Amino acid sequence: MTRFSANLGFLWTDRALPDAIRAAHAAGFDAVECHWPYDVAADDVAAALAETGLPMLGLNTRRGDVAAGENGLAALPGRVDEARAAIDEALAYADAIGAGAVHVMAGKAEGPEARAVFAQNLHYACARAAKGGRIILIEPLNPFDAPGYFLNSTAQAADLITEIAAPNLKLMFDCYHVGRTEGDVIARLGALWPIIGHIQFAAVPDRGAPDHGDLDYAVVFAELARMGWAQPLGAEYRPTGATEASLGWMSRLR
């Protein structure tokens, strides 16, 4: 049976994170994940997780100065101290709530210097995360949603993962982002299988619930099951109204 994780960066955003965790449990999700939980006391999040029995799969490092358009720090030359502080903060929060992974956000940058800085910061993140038995994720973002983001293809991410060669550095494979830019999602899943650490999904091309669009998720999820994927799949889509009203896909696709 396919299992699902509610991404609380997009689902139940009308309520505080602990209450969103409870809502995900009531809706039948098997796990949760989030984006930037730092304004919420970790103890409150940990209490909601304990109450519901849901695991928190992962969270993101801070984006930086959001008002100025920043979307991550780890590939920004000249910002190493801030990037590593964000990594430390994310890992400490993950430790406090038992989250298994931290997604290190690259940010808007380009060129060889940005790549070198990103690689150095990923080495740092992986070494720190290994002490707590956690994994580090990197995620390519499509240029329609995240113009200028340094990491924008799975090939680029795979090259970094191969070069860094840390056993706890993995790819966050978002079917939506890959579907927008790289075509055959199932073929890319097969090609990248050994380095994938987490899988997310949403309708292509509108990032809505996975019950419409160019990708047939019944086919994708069946192929994932055939390939042996057993972890919860991350529902990271934007509901057009109340989250509860968007969940009809769960029973059909489970």
pLDDT in tens, 104-160: 999 999 999 999 999 999 999 999 999 999 999 999 999 999 999 999 999 999 999
User: Which phi-psi region, left, alpha or beta, contains residue 65 (left: φ > 0; alpha: ψ -120 to 50)?
Assistant: beta
Domain count, the chain: 1
- pLDDT value of position 30: 98
Catalytic residue list: 139, 236
- pLDDT value of position 182: 96
In whole angstroms, give the CA distance from residue 47 to residue 70. 31
- pLDDT value of position 135: 98
Reference 202, options 243, 233, 171; nearest CA is 233
Which CATH number do you get for residue 66?
Answer: 3.20.20.150
Contact between residue 105 and residue 61 where contact means Cβ atoms under 8 Å apart: yes
Q: Which residues of the chain have pLDDT under 70?
A: none
- pLDDT value of position 1: 87
Reference 178, options 139, 210, 209; nearest CA is 139
Contact between residue 175 and residue 200 where contact means Cβ atoms under 8 Å apart: yes
Structural domain boundaries enclosing 105: 4-253
